[in-house]
Amino acid sequence: MERIKTGIFGLDELIGGGIPKGHTVAVIGPFGAGKTTFGLQYLNHGLLNGERGIFISLEEESESIVRTAESFGWKFSEYVKNGMLTIIKLDPQDARATMTRIEGDISQEIREFGAKRLVFDSATLLTMMFREEHEKRSVLFSLSKAVKLAGVTSIFTGEVDPSNHMVSRDGLLEYVVDGVISLDLMKQEYKLRLVLQILKMRMTTHSRDTHPFYIKENGIEVLPSF
């Protein structure tokens, strides 16, 4: 099985060498746990190895995304200029237009661009655009189908349920992806620690332990379990 390296130090060893090619993985966690950083680092590793990438945002503007990436030393402005990276901003105020684009245009855009990696930030904001549960479920399935048809290996970020950090906010995202990685904050003695746990990864033997991680100046680094 071909695997896609995440570029996150210490993670690939926990998932059998990387994410199975073509899979979608949800990275869930509370605000400030490093979900967007995870996605940017994943894209950067591909870009460094000549793989085109797409970042789809429902919240941040392109300039903000580039600034965040470059604060870690990742040269996203150069990748945008040389055609290796494209950043797509969807309108969170227009649910109908977003749904139409996901169902009709996104898959074709990905194929035409030749992307190998994709990050969607965030799936929670996407579902919040819709009121009914069947609409939320439909848009998530449409998104998952679109990226799979395009053949990219994808990361979807998502917020967690405030009362249960082991599940996504609406409890739907886990059912449309191939893998789920939890990023969380754990209180230990008198301080908070960042921890990572692999909750699900299809077709892969993976660690089920809780692993501390750090967000350093050059990105995320995952450590062995406690």
Per-residue pLDDT tens listing for the chain (226 residues)? 899 999 999 999 999 999 999 999 999 999 999 999 999 999 999 999 999 999 999 989 999 999 999 999 999 999 999 999 999 999 878 877 888 888 888 999 999 999 999 999 999 999 999 989 999 999 999 999 999 999 999 999 999 999 999 999 999 999 999 999 999 999 877 788 999 999 999 999 999 999 999 999 999 999 998 7
Distance CA 25, CA 187 (A): 26
Distance CA 147, CA 154 (A): 7
Distance CA 77, CA 69 (A): 9
- Give 123's Cβ-side CA count (13 Å radius): 37
DSSP 95-146: HHHHHHHHHHTHHHHHHHHT-SEEEEE-HHHHHHT-SSHHHHHHHHHHHHHH
pTM value? 0.96
Which SS3 state, helix, strand or coil, does residue 87 take?
strand
Write down the architecture of domain 3-222 according to CATH: 3-Layer(aba) Sandwich (3.40)
**Alpha carbon 108 to its chain's center:** 20
Q: Tell me the backbone φ, ψ of residue 156, rounded to 5 degrees.
A: -110, 125
